[in-house]
Structure 1
């Protein structure tokens, strides 16, 4: 018989670790729950207790890791029983459980970025038992020096623990927990309580502390007989014999048996430096000032039973007791039973109510009678919903949507829910089932056994009304938002670890400058050298190692974008509930992956800025044009709307305003709504990875024949020219082409989303190819089909989701085409949202003939408004909201006191009663022009008013604080543009490039690129940067000058050569060659120069003569006009970057 595997002491003394702190005790624990669980399996520990400080936030991750270890063990056992020639690949089996928190989500592309975590231990061999997880918490009391490890023995005890934690958290501000000894006495029944008193040998221990500690422990022993123990941990300082003897004496005196604990902070000794860094971050000092708070050694790692028997050789009963306690803690997280609210009304069961509402929806949606296939689908869906018990869930979402619409809040369901006819009949989704391919199993599957997930978008400015409705209806003890774990990313890791390690601000800035966007990687050696740093320097090398280790560590909990967990009973008996940072919000401690792992259902109440903009645009049309529109009655199939989109005239239009979409629109040439569905879906990493874009376009244009795939597959793929674009098509190919059941096809879809990290695709590939061959397809064709759908990864869109979004694409495009002024006004009033900043939105509106009027103290409101021109057209008046730093409340007072208008600055102060700083903000925004005042004149007058209100003695005759008249020098055009951008973030006077144009004789204006050939030079402000995660490292830049925009493609080689300019430059000069793809023109970059320093010279006279187009000029010296305290032009014109 083979001996134990390395690291698995098969004959080691048994020991259960009952005191483990993970990195969910933020800035304390130095290992992920997954790492600790895997290491426990390696060491052969029979059990491990996760006991984070006043929290159970990390236990589900440990639970998921244990499930993954179990799966890997079972696969290993199956492999051992499989003949050698048939054994599956072992590449995945050589890895441990995925550390979820180090798969950092990139929120622009929704992709998952794997992060290097160092050596991942192999899982336990199949002949060794895996550790049992004990889910607990370390209770730190506000009125006691004793901490308590609270380990639930059963489900009721777990519920009492989570209610106790909720009680403490709801009393406190976000991130804190206030629990007293009395609270523990009230809620401690059923818990194993292990006291962790202060170190009896600590020099800082007060003389009277020992009696108090003994008294409190003895009190708990009397309150919970047989359930209270004294935890003893080594100090690893040469005094452990005395320390453990003292603890044994305390145990004897209090009646609490002594049990061994390791006070674990890390899974391996190598994390000791990181543990010290975390301590520095927690207490706010550098590593050089940490002093005695530094760990003296690396002993607070997870240990084997062999190590612990050596440490407790004089107290073996303390080790035996760990096993007794572990055996008593029978609670498992999968014991949690989740019950959704019943939603029965007036004695009508939920399923009956759902069927009645569905029948009502059939009459509403199909007044002439529903098609037969729709009726059949309704019966099928209702039957499966009844079997799965999901009727209350549908009714909850229906009621939420009903509430929103009763308040005039636009909303729309999306995602896989649009695969459900029932959702359409209930008004949750708006995509007619007959217009798309519906696969209900994509939404609900009996075999998958997972709860459905309905996503509903609401207007982002009014979603809070919906959230508070949910709280009010169900109560805060039954409803809570899911958490989101905020992790260390590259920039934060560099900044915080670098400070701890004593790096200078200049060095930290140089290192951060090498990071693109929301990166999850530390800078590589070559990037450090490019920043002028030496990666071989020992201190820097250690710093970089620590930065790499801390990336992906949880920093704190925040709230999910809108996922609600709602329960029939008390939610706080499943999971602790705490206060969010936002007022009137409460969240649970678990994130969406945690609740998925436990089978809890959530309702996603999401925010979508475009719905806000559309609703506001409809309101403007009703107020100014008498037109009543909603999402359902916007005129359909308007050819002029599609003509506009084909010209890539789509700034501000939902989903198709990105640079990639604007490039694709003229090639796609959409002519109907389904074309927009394809447009939304195809400009995604999945179809791009799968090599689907080129054949789709070629076949659509008639340049390539559509392959005959046989009747079955032709039916699936005919609308997309034989190319699979949607997840539903991948599932249908598996069903009709390879013989999968719909549920099996859904499992294939889910495996496609996870195979890169889980390695679960191999079996599906073999089954798929064999199934297609059995149905008459040749093996090569079957392999190609699988390769195409495999390219989806986790990035392919459901057709139902794309269809939901395509409706908003069309409605927003219709508004832009026919009501540009109202559309732009609504977009500006809905900021922040969308792809472009207000400057680009205003620029686009003016290019399309809309008159845009400046902010005016006598005409503007807080919001941007429409005003009727003499010729009957609508002009856009900028609102006070555009002025940086002006408070909404001050603007309201100014409007309320305006009457027939203000004659001067003082009258605003006197009548509106606003503070002088509000007048200064107005002056900076040039809001007094209509009064005949320049920006400088108005600012001078505002600063002359020194008191917040006029003195009563002088209130009648206005003699308070009058300054003598002065003549101020006029601003140059460049200075005015700078001031416009500083205050308004846009300028109606001129584009900065118009001011700089005399210095750019070699740069081609962007409007002339259509006629250009060969190599060109273009210069412009960077308004967007995009770096798709699957585009071979390519970066897309959008540059803007006074004539228009240009599309710049930066390939990875050029990016590496000019990285600093590409990443940080605000004004770039690009030399490159013209490339055309139909009507789309790109500049393929060959050289890039950062001219951002020129922005600081906008206020200076423009140099003339030879050499003005050469090297960037230096910023002006201190005291010059361009260095006015407010004229920090180099910080203006930020781009919107999408990674």
Structure 2
């Protein structure tokens, strides 16, 4: 919390509006303690301080305004007209009352004076404000004075990468190129394969054009620090599509072994910074977090917030309790809905719950619930999304101290950060990395073997024998019931089979009818065929069935004439529930493009239906 001394120390270029007490004492004056404190503020802040004036129709408006004007004259301050606004239109007063009951943990019938006496705390038109403060023209002039002084646009925020990222004396791009080629030579030797060379050149040109070199250097720095400390770490997600990330040691997906698509990672069409997620041992991740704070300072590094929103079940429970519904009724209502769906109560659904859809009180509850849906519920902390700036964070965004000691949070979420183009790196914790570390320690202590992530045997037949029997309890990624049911059917024999195993037990392949065709082809029960050589190159390893979003993008590019940016748009429409259904807008373009390239309409539509499954 801010103290009075904090306010005085940071008063430069600030405007302060003091919210006046809503009541007077028996002599119809402000309390002497308040007046004494006001004198201190007036002396320290002078013309930067305004006293608020509101008309709330409480019965004391005239007396309050008169006393406020007296204080303005006594301390040479200005009065400013305010609305004490809680909602934008009077009709929202009911919802405000319910929210008050939720906050106070009481029912509407017991709220009493905790609720406002009327519905006047709405955003009034300018004409109405002029009428209300006709006797106090200075209060109106102050409104215009403050609004003119507070001209601001988010476009004025300019993010700069931290200068400490690169201390080599080279430019950021030169340093990135140096580290990348150094890593490539260390892995491949003096003769780096031509395929990798071409990928690095392609990615470096993109990084140069988009000015992302500092971002890669920042991630490389924290990964290198983790390795210096002996902390296991591993890049995850779409960053695995980058040869640069591989050469920097951020990811371990060899570009020579896998057919990668860089545009799956970052694309100029998205106009947003790259997003690299790095997992660290969960017991030692805090060391990396504190390393970032120590290197850049808590005034320049912070973790992004998450804003939890109210959905149907939560809103029904909050409103139901506030409106005095019985717990049984609340349970019936909330139990008849799935969480995070777009469904809503129709009369039939209410009747199915054993309730009367014509009950006025119940109708009011459902109406208020619908209004409350989507409201922010609470501010939380992102699992590890870090933002680091060159200057102070307070110059760019609001911050607060986290509950955990030694941490700072930004009050904006990741979508806000992405929109403003701030650097964000996800410093995540993974328990399985800790398990692997402990397993390495046991192997060294008991068998004298020095194992690392790089030298673990990849093709141990006994291990795959256990996997084929679904003996995978506690094994990361393949321990769920659905995975354990699929393992004996797919019978993985190598690492790529495991990649397919993890990918195939997902809503996309299941909804797109890809699972059974793949299994039949794998077991020799169905012929594997390809309508063209170009699609065979894309789908060969998955037996003609598209199982990965990268394959969907390549099909769109090669077989339908999409640009990489358009293919990324298709991928994004399949990537997250926020865009659910948007994949349909690409159907016409994909089908027409494939037909123009000589594919049949039936085949093109079948491919689209399979890709559409990714939107599930």
- TM normalised by structure 1 equals 0.50
Q: In the alignment, which residue of structure 1 is the partner of 2:10?
A: 187
1:443–1:452: 8 Å Cα contact kept in structure 2? yes
Q: 1:654 to 1:263 in 2, by over 3 A?
A: same
Q: CA deviation at 1:675?
A: 1.7
Number of the residue aligned with 1:397: 219
Whether the 8 Å contact between 2:311 and 2:339 is mirrored in structure 1 is no
Partners of 1:312 and 1:223 in 2: CA distance:
21
- The equivalent residue for 1:262 is 83
Residues 678-717 of structure 1, C-alpha deviation per residue, up to 9 Å, x if partnerless?
1111211222233322332233333333443322233222
Equivalence map 1:278-357=2 (5 Å): 278-312=99-133, 322-323=143-144, 325-342=146-163, 343-357=165-179
Matches within 5 A, 1:93-492: 177-180=1-4, 182-199=5-22, 206-208=30-32, 211-212=35-36, 215=39, 218-219=42-43, 222-224=46-48, 228-237=49-58, 240=61, 251=72, 255-312=76-133, 322-323=143-144, 325-342=146-163, 343-367=165-189, 369-488=191-310
Give the deviation of 1:402 after TM superposition: 1.7
Q: State the SS of the aligned residue for 1:604.
A: strand
Q: Is the Cα–Cα contact under 8 Å of residues 236 and 299 in structure 1 kept in the other structure?
A: yes
Alpha-carbon contact 2:168-2:175 (below 8 Å) kept:
no
Indicate how the Cα distance of structure 1 residues 629 and 207 shifts in structure 2: closer, same or farther if over 3 A, else same. closer
| CA deviation string 1:289-338 (max 9, x = no partner) | 32212122223233433544454455577556545543432221221111
Are residues 620 and 415 of structure 1, via their aligned partners in 2, closer, same or farther at CA, if it must alter by over 3 Å?
Answer: same
Q: Deviations over 1:6-61 (max 9, x none)?
A: xxxxxxxxxxxxxxxxxxxxxxxxxxxxxxxxxxxxxxxxxxxxxxxxxxxxxxxx
Question: Using the alignment, how far apart are the partners of 1:759 and 1:601 within structure 2?
Answer: 30
Asked if structure 1 preserves the Cα contact closer than 8 Å seen for 2:573 and 2:579, the reply is no
Tell me the CA shift for residue 463 of structure 1.
1.2
Pair 1:708-2:530 in alignment: yes
After TM superposition, the structure 1 = structure 2 runs for residues 904-943 of structure 1, keeping only pairs within 5 Å, are none
Over residues 736-790 of structure 1, what are the superposed CA-to-partner deviations in whole Å (9 max), with x where a residue is unaligned?
2232222232233224446965986676444444433433334454444334323
Among 427, 441, 460, the residue aligned to 1:638: 460
Aligned counterpart for 1:742 among listed residues 552, 564, 575: 564
Shift of 1:259: 3.8
**Residue aligned with 1:558, SS:** strand
Pairing 1:691–2:492 present: no
What's the CA shift string for 1:645-699, capped at 9, x where partnerless? 2332222221111121122222222222222111111211222233322332233
Cα displacement (A) at 1:401: 1.4
Counterpart-to-counterpart distance in 2, 1:736 and 1:337: 39
- Cα distance change on mapping 1:582 and 1:218 into 2, 3 Å: closer
| In 2, Cα distance between equivalents of 1:273 and 1:590 | 29
Tell me if the contact between 1:755 and 1:761 (Cα under 8 Å) persists in the aligned partners: no
Deviation sequence 1:1032-1089 (CA, Å, 0-9, x none): xxxxxxxxxxxxxxxxxxxxxxxxxxxxxxxxxxxxxxxxxxxxxxxxxxxxxxxxxx
| Separation of aligned partners in 2, 1:783 and 1:313 | 68
Distance 1:231 1:444, change over 3 A: same
Whether 1:582 and 2:404 are equivalent positions in the alignment is yes
Aligned positions of 1:429-578 closer than 5 A = 429-488=251-310, 493=315, 497-503=319-325, 537-578=359-400
Would the alpha carbon gap of residues 688 and 215 (structure 1) be closer, same or farther in structure 2, given more than 3 Å must change? Answer: same
CA distance in 2, matches of 1:698, 1:667: 10
Counterpart CA distance in 2 for 1:236 and 1:761 is 53
Does the 8 A contact of 1:489 with 1:520 survive in 2?
A: no
Q: Distance in 1 between matches of 2:596 and 2:333?
A: 57
- C-alpha change, 1:297 and 1:345, in structure 2 (3 Å) is same
Matched, 1:598 2:420: yes
1:672 aligns with 2:494: yes
CA deviation after TM superposition for structure 1 residue 447, in Å: 3.8
Matching residue of 1:1010 = none
Q: Which residue of structure 2 lines up, in the alignment, with residue 1058 of structure 1?
A: none
User: How many residues are treated as equivalent by the alignment?
Assistant: 614
Contact 1:195 1:217 in 2 (8 A): no
Assess if the C-alpha contact under 8 Å between 2:387 and 2:422 holds in 1.
Answer: yes
SS at 1:279 equivalent: helix
Q: Which structure dedicates a bigger proportion of its chain to helix?
A: 2
d(CA) in 2 for partners of 1:770 and 1:251?
72
Would you say the 8 A contact 2:272–2:419 is kept in 1?
no
Distance 1:583 1:756, change over 3 A: closer
CA-CA distance at 1:389 after TM superposition? 2.3
**3-state DSSP class of the match of 1:276?**
helix
Distance (Å, rounded) in 2 between the aligned partners of 1:234 and 1:521: 41
Residues in 1 aligned to 2:584 and 2:519: alpha-carbon distance in whole angstroms: 31
Alpha-carbon distance between aligned partners in 2 of 1:625 and 1:523, rounded to the nearest angstrom = 63
The 1:613/1:282 distance shift into structure 2, 3 A limit, reads: same
Superposition CA RMSD, Å: 3.4
CA distance in 2, matches of 1:759, 1:260: 47
Structure 2 partner of 1:129: none
Give how far 1:287 is off. Answer: 2.9
Contact 2:305/2:409, CA 8 A, preserved across alignment: yes
The Cα shift of 1:490 comes to 5.9
Q: Is structure 2 residue 547 aligned with structure 1 residue 728?
A: no
Q: Corresponding residue for 1:1125?
A: none
Q: Secondary structure at the match of 1:191?
A: coil
Greater mean alpha carbon deviation, residues 747-756 or residues 444-453: 747-756
Q: CA deviation at 1:483?
A: 1.4
Q: Given the superposition, is the C-alpha separation of residues 780 and 257 from structure 1 closer, same or farther in structure 2, using an over 3 Å criterion?
A: farther
Matches within 5 A, 1:600-615: 600-615=422-437
Residue 418 of structure 1, CA deviation: 0.6
| SS at structure 1 position matched to 2:17 | strand
CA displacement at 1:339 relative to structure 2: 1.0
| Structure-1 separation of matches of 2:579 and 2:24 | 48
Q: Shift of residue 520 of structure 1?
A: 9.2
Unaligned runs of 5+ in 1: 1-176, 794-1029, 1031-1139
Q: Compared with structure 1, are the counterparts of its residues 282 and 323 closer, same or farther at alpha carbon in structure 2 (3 Å cutoff)?
A: same
For normalisation by structure 2, the TM-score amounts to 0.88
Q: What displacement does 1:569 show?
A: 1.8
CA distance, structure 1, for counterparts of residue 437 and residue 38 of structure 2: 66
Distance 1:215 1:568, change over 3 A: same
Query: Unpaired segments of 5 or more residues in structure 2?
Result: none
Deviation at 1:412, TM superposition (A): 0.7
Q: Contact (CA 8 Å) 2:24, 2:31: kept in 1 or not? A: no
Kindly tell me: are residues 703 and 260 of structure 1, through their superposed partners in 2, closer, same or farther at Cα, counting changes over 3 Å? farther
Q: Which moved more, 1:650-659 or 1:274-283?
A: 274-283
Deviation at 1:605, TM superposition (A): 0.8
User: Distance between the aligned counterparts of 1:316 and 1:772, measured in 2?
Assistant: 70
Q: Which stretch has the larger CA shift, 284-293 or 773-782?
A: 773-782
Distance 1:534 1:392, change over 3 A: same
CA positional deviation for 1:420? 0.8
Structure 1 residue 378 displacement after superposition: 1.4
1:718 to 540, 552, 572: 540
Which structure carries more strand by proportion?
A: 1
Shift in CA distance, 295/406, structure 1 to aligned 2, threshold 3 Å: same
1:214 & 1:605 partners in 2: Cα distance?
46
Instruction: Name the counterpart of 1:58.
Output: none
